Amino acid sequence: MSDQGPKQRSELHLVQLLPNLMTISAMCSGLTGIRFAVSGQFQIAVALILLAAILDGLDGRLARLLRSESEMGAELDSLVDFVNFGVAPGLTIYLWGLHGLQSGGWIATLIYAACCLLRLARFNIGNRPSADKTTATSFTGVPSPAGAMLAMLPMYVSFMWPSAPQLPPPLLALYMALIGALMISRVSTPSFKRVTFYAEHVRYVFVAFVALVAALLSFPWETMVVVDLGYALAVIVAVWQSRKARKA
């Protein structure tokens, strides 16, 4: 008979589960967005996808703060990102403006979702301990959350001006495919995770954050249009600087 006693069971504090619970909450938000899109309530659907993006931005930081990072958490985050930023936006945009294009609209949706999947796979490989992280100050290609926000730009504009004509389905399909191509491209895009500022400027950061939240609550679609255009401009500047550095 073995003299070994019962195995010691590891214990976890409830607070250590918060990052994974937040990740699962983000998945619930994205999937519920699809439900509202199916019923034609597109503004609620987009709002839920935006909520999923906010939760996605918080779960990793919370895990690092609580020192509860794990392989399971990383896998959960990647799988949920595909649901929230590949499947949910793709289906929502298809139901909103591409279903009339029939097969062509569905092909554009599949291209977008496939590009999101490939982008996440490349990101996971780049996050492995053996990967070269010399480009930590930037991303290669547009990250999937930013890609989803850009893909929904025509919807924001339509919500701002309900009486204005929607983007024609063929152009919307082309736009979706273009966003997908940007996600898997080798274009260097800015990473705001490494942005630093002086301690005496913290109060201005807080004021700017309050202003952004107030703008999102008061004028959500106008604010998202401005955020999208600002990010697009930052990508263009980053590409121009990268090409200029290569020529130097």
Residue ranges of the domains in the chain? 14-128+135-247
Cα 41 to the center of its chain, rounded Å? 21
Q: Name 153's Cβ contacts closer than 8 Å, sequence gap at least 6.
A: 224, 225, 228
C-alpha pair distances (Å), 182 with each of 28, 112, 142, 159: 27, 10, 6, 25
CATH architecture of the domain 14-128+135-247 equals Up-down Bundle (1.20)
pLDDT of residue 209: 84
Separation of alpha carbons 52 and 54, rounded Å:
5
Question: 112 near 173, Cβ under 8 Å?
Answer: no
The reported pTM is 0.85
Cα 128 to Cα 115: distance, rounded to the nearest angstrom = 21
Residues 6 or more apart from 151 whose CB is under 8 A from it?
A: 89, 90, 93, 112, 175, 176, 179
Q: What pLDDT is stored for residue 134 in this prediction?
A: 45
DSSP H or E run through 157: helix 153-160
Taking only the tens of pLDDT, the chain with its 248 residues reads 455 555 665 655 666 667 788 889 999 999 999 999 999 999 999 999 999 999 888 877 776 776 666 677 677 888 999 999 999 999 999 999 998 887 899 999 999 999 999 999 988 776 655 545 444 567 888 999 999 999 999 999 999 998 888 889 999 999 999 999 999 988 888 776 666 667 777 788 888 889 988 999 999 999 999 999 999 998 888 778 777 777 76
